[in-house]
């Protein structure tokens, strides 16, 4: 039994799987660098308040906490590298204009996310800061798709989400700002599909139905526009 001494959902990675993962990591980092994304390496642990600044409650729940024996302060083991890279951009580099950064490293989570069978995940990614134009979004999306292609993924379906789209639909369904809005937004934000189905809304079934009609109407307008 290969993981008999390890905690639940923590495992050793053996050859040849470890070699395949490392090869893919190198391929993707080289791909990012070819597109002018510079590599950064944030630390595995940070002071908890710094690590979670600007993040949501969900990430706080996923973060392991430990006491630093040197300072007595509470530390967090990173569950996501993205906020760390944002901190580096804002407080360490603080460069004028556009900044492109990439990263790779292990993250540790208190609960295995989704269908994953491990709480230690190798995270790799790229971030673009300092450009609010749609061209920047297109660049990052193109980089995502080309990276997935390099990783051997095919027949992809890309879902895009934006809170502005949700707010427009909520206004059209006349639920903006009330409790139904908050409940539905929470379900969508956490990708809780069962919560978002009209059959599970009870008294708010009519609200969910109105939102669904707005979505179908918007989709039809896009097809005919």
User: Over the stretch 80-120, which tens digit does the pLDDT of each residue have?
Assistant: 999 999 999 999 999 999 999 999 999 999 998 777 689 99
Nearest to 48 by CA among 32, 27, 62: 62
User: Nearest-5° angle of CA 145, CA 111, CA 198?
Assistant: 70
**Model confidence at 198: pLDDT above 50:** no
* Burial class of residue 76 (count of CB atoms within 10 Å of its CB; 0-12, 13-18, 19+): buried
**Domains of the chain, residue spans:** 17-150, 163-224
pLDDT tens digits for range 123-169: 999 999 999 998 999 999 999 999 999 999 988 888 877 777 777 77
pLDDT band at 216 (very low <50, low <70, confident <90, very high): low
Mean pLDDT taken over the chain? 83
Q: Which long-range contacts (CB under 8 A, 24 or more apart) does 185-189 make?
A: 188/161
Position 113 scores a pLDDT of 76
Nearest-Å Rg of the Cα atoms of the chain is 21
Could you tell me the fold of the domain covering 17-150? BirA Bifunctional Protein; domain 2 (3.30.930)
Position 193 scores a pLDDT of 45
pLDDT band at 201 (very low <50, low <70, confident <90, very high): very low
Of residues 160 and 39, the one with the higher pLDDT is 39
Position 131 scores a pLDDT of 96
pLDDT band at 215 (very low <50, low <70, confident <90, very high): low
Of residues 113 and 219, the one with the higher pLDDT is 113
Of residues 64 and 191, the one with the higher pLDDT is 64
User: Taking the complete model, does pTM exceed 0.85, yes or no?
Assistant: no
Average pLDDT over residues 183-189: 68
Of residues 39 and 165, the one with the higher pLDDT is 39
pLDDT band at 212 (very low <50, low <70, confident <90, very high): low
Q: Which two tokens stand for residue 45?
A: 């642990």
Full 3-state SS string of the chain? CCCCCCCCCCCCCCCCHHHHHHHHHHHHHHHHHHCCCEECCCCCEEEHHHHCCCCCHHHHHCCEEEECCCCCCEEEECCCCHHHHHHHHHHHHCCCCCEEEEEEEEEECCCCCCCCCCCEEEEEEEEEECCCCHHHHHHHHHHHHHHHHHCCCCCCCCCCCCHHHHHHHHHHCCCCCCHHHHHHHHHHHCCCHHHHCHHHCHHHHHHHHHHHHHHHHHHHHHHHC
């Amino acid at each position: 039994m290969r993981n008999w001494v390890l905690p639940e959902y923590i495992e050793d990675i053996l050859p040849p799987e470890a070699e395949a993962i490392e090869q893919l990591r190198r391929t993707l980092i080289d791909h990012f660098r070819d597109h002018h994304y510079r590599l950064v390496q944030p630390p595995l642990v940070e002071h908890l308040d710094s690590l979670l600044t600007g993040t949501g409650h969900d990430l706080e729940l996923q973060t392991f906490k430990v006491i630093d024996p040197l300072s007595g302060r509470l530390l967090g083991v990173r569950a996501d590298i993205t906020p760390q890279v944002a901190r580096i951009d804002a407080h360490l580099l603080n460069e004028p204009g556009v900044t492109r950064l990439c990263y790779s490293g292990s993250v540790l989570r208190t609960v295995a996310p989704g269908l994953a069978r491990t709480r230690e995940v190798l995270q790799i990614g790229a971030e673009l800061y300092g450009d609010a134009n749609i061209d920047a979004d297109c660049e990052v999306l193109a980089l995502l798709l080309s990276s997935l292609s390099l990783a051997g993924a095919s027949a992809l379906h890309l879902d895009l989400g934006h809170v502005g789209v949700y707010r427009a639909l909520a206004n059209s369904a006349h639920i903006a700002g009330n409790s139904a809005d908050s409940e539905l937004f929470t379900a969508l934000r956490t990708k809780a599909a069962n919560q978002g189905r009209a059959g599970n809304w009870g008294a708010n079934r009519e609200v969910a139905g109105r939102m669904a009609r707005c979505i179908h109407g918007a989709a039809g307008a896009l097809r005919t526009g």
